[in-house]
Structure 1
Amino acid sequence: MRTKEKLVVVGNGMASLRFLERLTERAPGRFDITVVGAEPVAAYNRVLLSSLLGGEVDEAACGFRGLDWYAEHGIRLITGAPVTAIDRAKATVHVGDTFVTGYDHLVLAVGSLPIRLPLPGGDLPGVITFRDFADVTTIRKAAVEHARAIVIGGGLLGLEAAVGLARLGVDTTLLHVMDRVMERQLDHTAARLVKAAMEERGVKMLLSANTACIEGHGRVERLLLKDGTVLPADLVVMSVGIKPSTALAAACGLEIGRGIKVDDRMATSDPRVFALGECAEHRGVSYGLVEPAYEQAEVLSRCLLGEDAAYTGTSLATSLKVSGLPVFSAGVVDTPDGAEAIVLHDATAGLYRKLTIQDGRLAGAVFVGDISEQARCKDLIRTGAPLAPHDRDDLMFGTPAPSPAKTSLAA
């Protein structure tokens, strides 16, 4: 009987699980698989963290696969135990202080780390990040009645943290250093609609707000802006972005850029070691989104089975709900010189659509309120196909329903 190849996966997040699902679908029982996750629970949906914080769902609803799924697929799952070292010469992985396992193939899916601003007072108790189950628990403990919370960061995760806190009844203020929220995904008009939706849900919004320091005796008590504004605070949540987790890979001598460098097969500088998801850097780009991680997982599962597959990058598109408001963004956000912008805007209805057209092709789309044409937009932007005569109207107002088939009256 052929000896199974040993596959070790470090990390048990969304990218790791998608890779395991695809691999076991294609070749059940092919590998002897060990998965090591630092968190005490199996992979869960980080997208639901704000809903968990706000009490809309519980931890069980955030889970993907039960422990029985791993067992049924012959996957050895180790949770709550970080990998402490990788010995590439011996092809071994050290888990904690005592457990060592060998590998034929090693996959690093170690994700990313939340960025903490190097602010004076940034290490005070009560200054936290928002990234995992443990952060949700910490925030809930701090979010007592009459608490005042400040969220730093107007990206998606910051908005979600602020909405979650507001749902708990906490006096919540969101600070963002830019003049609009989600500036990478939204133009000014779309961002104003999202800001209004946040304010309707009880979140105070301060834009162009640059934090100077955090102060307090023994724990956070206030936050000072560079313009001199003083904001009382019992809790400060930093949500200003993420950075790839590279320490483990760097310590074992793999090539590192911003993330762990990989080729089109998701292989690192060591052909037996692969990386995917938020920790990986492909062609100079580190993606912090789920869609690229899933595409990378698909490619890696095929490559490990000897198939001819290559990851060539992801054309980024964002489709989500911000404070209950559907939002879609793909391609360019702000209209470049020489391009044409087609805009539909109904502020009362909270509806906004903008198509950016350049050289007869769709270069970008931003929708708020109704995102029903998102799939067609993504396809046109990714392929670069010329727009058909009817595409402008269809993308802006929706594809007309097909005419009912005519019934023949012939005898």
Structure 2
Amino acid sequence: MKIAIIGMGPAGTGVVRTLRRHDSDAEITMFSAENVPPYSPPALGDYLITGNKEGLFRHEDDFFKTYNVKQRPGEKIVQVMPEEKQLKTQNNEIFDFDHLVIASGSSLYAPVKGADKKGIYNFKTLDGADQIKRISQEDKTAVVLGGGFIGVEIALCLAKIGIKPTLLNRRGWIMPRLLDVETAGYVEKDLRAQGVEVLLNTEGKEFVGNESVDGLLTSNGKTLTADIYIAATGVKPNIDFIKDTDIEYDQGIVVDEKLRTRYPYIYACGDVAQTIDLLSGKRKIHGLYPVAMDHAQTAACNILGMEREYERPVNINSLKELGFKIIVVGNQKAEEVFEYKTENILRKIYITADKIVGFVLLGDISNAGIYLSLLKKKTNVAKFKHRLLSKGFSPGFLPGMGGVN
């Protein structure tokens, strides 16, 4: 059995590990557009700040030898031929497969004119992080376009290595898709305290310059200049190689409950897979490490004939580089909102039809695991919802754990 895997990130390597736990004979070949060993993109921020590669390269010293995998780093796939069960590389080499796993990850994206110019860095790749490290000095400046989760994370990382970032957001508050105005105020205050200049109600209209970027023209008519430019208004899956096929895609590749495309021998995992959200019931991309791990196990099991469905995910976001801990889960709109706050702590739980649909924990993240469990199980919390944020709340309040009956 020949198994081809496009991508060497967490989803791709996770597929290999699961396959090899049950099958030592299958011929596995991994392809990657990046000419580097497998690494963990979520660790790029820590690597940029500390230079520590241990968290970045969390795999065995010789992953490919350990798991008996053929490696093709730097071999970008340019075409998938589903009917023929073949792949074509940028060098026009053809590879046959019996099963294909698409785990090619995602890239930063900004629908702004000139975003393809030279001099705009891709922080989601090791090469992009290394480029920033090479030019980083305390007198350097950066413009980060996009005040969502990714943009905020990048700006904080840059500030911690002495670069002076300016962060643009077109809305009137930071991370508008994840946070309400009140919660965003805590984040914005910390950003400014760490040296990040925040420009709200400001859009990037065009990256100006000839072949290389010389500045960013904004919606207020000003042109911002810097040493480093990063476009981070969103991400898009790396799936150009399927766009001339009949594999269905929307935001990402559309899959069934077993992560199969319309071809039962082609799977999609991680950032490229558009799966059903636990809360909304709608298909969306969940670019989260735990989701990639679940997808990896699911795809591998189904390749081996071991029936398994993916766990419907819920959005979970956490920013490590703020001056406080914060976890944002699920929806921030609901019928009821329970809240506790002090100067440095904000805790909110969102409840609809007596079920938790989301929560924000800022400064104090205690009981996050309990709330997440209640949310995922869709537990009726009517009898104890007023105590969810009390200091004495514990699993003892929960049905079946000696608590509420």
TM-score by length of 1: 0.87
Residues 398 and 105 of structure 1: CA distance in aligned 2, closer, same or farther (over 3 Å): farther
State the distance in 1 between where 2:7 and 2:211 align. Answer: 35
Q: CA deviation at 1:311?
A: 2.4
What residue identity is the alignment partner of 2:361?
A: F
The aligned residue for residue 299 of structure 2 is 300
The aligned residue for residue 369 of structure 1 is 363
The aligned residue for residue 38 of structure 1 is 33
1:110-143: CA deviation from partner (whole Å, max 9, x where unpaired): 1123213322x54444333321111112223443
User: Which of 167, 180, 188 is the aligned partner of 1:187?
Assistant: 180
The aligned residue for residue 313 of structure 1 is 312
What residue identity is the alignment partner of 1:352?
A: L
What residue identity is the alignment partner of 2:149?
A: L
Residues 63 and 396 of structure 1: CA distance in aligned 2, closer, same or farther (over 3 Å): farther
State the distance in 1 between where 2:43 and 2:31 align. Answer: 23
User: Which of 34, 41, 47 is the aligned partner of 1:52?
Assistant: 47
What residue identity is the alignment partner of 2:142?
A: A
**Deviant stretches of 4+, over 6 Å:** none
Larger Rg: 1
What residue identity is the alignment partner of 1:40?
A: N
Q: Residue 198 in 1 paired to residue 197 in 2?
A: no
1:238-278: CA deviation from partner (whole Å, max 9, x where unpaired): 11111122211223432222222211111111122111111
What residue identity is the alignment partner of 2:297?
A: E
Q: CA deviation at 1:62?
A: 0.6
1:41-78: CA deviation from partner (whole Å, max 9, x where unpaired): 22212112122222x13334411213523212222222
The aligned residue for residue 409 of structure 1 is none
State the distance in 1 between where 2:75 and 2:120 align. Answer: 25
User: Does the CA contact (< 8 Å) of 2:294 and 2:311 recur in 1?
Assistant: no
User: Which of 8, 21, 40 is the aligned partner of 1:12?
Assistant: 8
Q: Residue 74 in 1 paired to residue 73 in 2?
A: no
Residues 258 and 148 of structure 1: CA distance in aligned 2, closer, same or farther (over 3 Å): same
Deviates most, 162-171 or 365-374 = 162-171
Residues 209 and 93 of structure 1: CA distance in aligned 2, closer, same or farther (over 3 Å): same
Is the partner of 2:121 in helix, strand or coil? Answer: strand
Residues 382 and 237 of structure 1: CA distance in aligned 2, closer, same or farther (over 3 Å): same
Structure 1 gap segments, 5+ residues each: 403-411
What residue identity is the alignment partner of 2:91?
A: D
Is the partner of 2:304 in helix, strand or coil? Answer: coil
Q: Residue 341 in 1 paired to residue 337 in 2?
A: yes
What residue identity is the alignment partner of 1:358?
A: T
Q: Residue 65 in 1 paired to residue 70 in 2?
A: no
The aligned residue for residue 201 of structure 2 is 208
1:306-334: CA deviation from partner (whole Å, max 9, x where unpaired): 22222262122224424243111222213
What residue identity is the alignment partner of 2:32?
A: G
- Alignment of structure 1 residues 12-411 onto 2, 5 Å: 12-25=8-21, 27-54=22-49, 56-97=50-91, 99-119=93-113, 121-216=114-209, 219-283=212-276, 284-311=283-310, 313-334=312-333, 336=334, 339-347=335-343, 350-387=344-381, 389-390=383-384, 392-397=386-391, 399=393
State the distance in 2 between where 1:232 and 1:72 align. Answer: 47
Residue identity (%): 25
Residues 79 and 255 of structure 1: CA distance in aligned 2, closer, same or farther (over 3 Å): same
The alignment of Structure 1 onto Structure 2 pairs a total of residues equal to 390
Q: CA deviation at 1:220?
A: 4.0
TM-score by length of 2: 0.88
User: Does the CA contact (< 8 Å) of 2:78 and 2:240 recur in 1?
Assistant: no
State the distance in 2 between where 1:123 and 1:247 align. Answer: 16
User: Does the CA contact (< 8 Å) of 1:116 and 1:129 recur in 2?
Assistant: no
1:142-196: CA deviation from partner (whole Å, max 9, x where unpaired): 4345222111111222112212221222221111112222222222222111112
Instruction: Quote the RMSD (CA, aligned, Å).
Output: 2.4
State the distance in 2 between where 1:289 and 1:365 align. Answer: 17
Is the partner of 1:51 in helix, strand or coil? Answer: helix
User: Does the CA contact (< 8 Å) of 2:122 and 2:129 recur in 1?
Assistant: no
